[in-house]
A and B are shown apart, each in its own frame.
Chain A
Amino acid sequence: MTTIALTSTAAGPGVELVAHQEQPIAGTLDPAEGGLVAAAKGGDQVAFGTLVDRYAGVVRRVARSILENSFDADDAAQDAFLLAWRNLDRFDASRPFRPWLMRITVNAATDLYRRRKVRHAGALPETLEDRAPGPDRETDRSLLRQRLSEALSELSERQRVAVTMFDAEGYSHADIAEIMDVPVGTVRSLVFHARRALRKALAPYRGGST
């Protein structure tokens, strides 16, 4: 675990975040996971449940990076797990499970995003609606989340998912390219532009140590 201080310099708020390091990562083949996948392919719901427990967090985050709204994101994440379950017999168990699941997730969330796009046009970001007053530190965090939410809304869904998978989930450019079905250069560009926009938006909150 890496502690990342976002303490401000002058006017900015003091916010400390802890970098969340989950199990790595996309393209590696975990033998224990291979056993779970093989059992699930055979119809073992308990084995599949273990996979759901293991990947619920990342699947929900990736879905949310595309959809922004947490309810829609959970719908897409559920759909992704169901699609994975229904199509497990087509999955090549000699390949890692996580990128396959991520690809299903990105597709499910993107589909839902396109269907919801018109309906949610103009809706306030969740963090603005939910925001409540609080102590200074909490207010600062709330402001940071609000600004981040706004900045994410201004990115394309492809930029959001690329930067989320790269910086927050630790996928390589190549893995993301495979998951998103785009060239690696496109992923680099998406991550670059997304980072630039987010950094600019969050500049008032930047910590000196980062």
Chain B
Amino acid sequence: MTDRNAFGPERDEALGALLHEHLSTTDDASFAENVMARIRREPRESSWEVLAGWAPLGMAAAAILAVAAGLWLGSARRDMPMAEADTADPVEWLSTNDPVTTEFVLTAVLVGDGFDENGAQR
């Protein structure tokens, strides 16, 4: 046990041997057998196996949730009071029963641009 290179990478083999002997316990074989007995009682499943075990239940739950959500949304939509505007077809807002003449369109444009309704410049 020397003090040379106290921070260096060299091992103190005498001290290491002492520690090794002091910390070693007997019968590693029995210990290993005990460990394996515990492991045999607790077989390990991989993450995928665990997920696979839950998959049918999870899918059934998801399906039930989806159906319930669909029913709820449907009933909520039926019960919802709607404004008339909501139900009107946007096309109806743009159409009219009156015939649109060329004069009507031109008047609308020209009046806004400084002409009177007869087309004469103001």
Contacts and interface: CB of A to CB of B under 8 A. Distances in A.
Interface of A: 2, 4, 6, 17-20, 43, 45, 48-49, 52-53, 56-57, 60-61, 64-65, 70, 73-74, 77-78, 81-82, 85-86, 88-89, 144-145, 148-149, 152, 163-164, 166-170, 172-173, 188, 191-192, 195-196, 198-199, 202, 206-207, 210
Contacts of B38: 78, 82
Interface of B: 1-3, 6-7, 9, 11-25, 28-29, 31-32, 34-36, 38-40, 42-47
A195 B7 CA distance: 10
A86 B46 CA distance: 9
A17 B14 contact: yes
A78 B3 contact: no
A70 B44 CA distance: 28
Majority SS at the chain B contact face: helix
B17 A20 contact: yes
Given A167-B15, A199-B3, A57 B24 contact: yes
Contacts of B25: 60-61, 64, 70, 73-74
Contacts of A195: 1, 6, 12, 15
Contact of A49 (B14, B18, B28, B36): B36
Contacts of A60: 23-25, 28, 31
Contacts of B23: 60-61, 64-65, 164, 168
Given A20-B21, A167-B12, A49 B1 contact: no
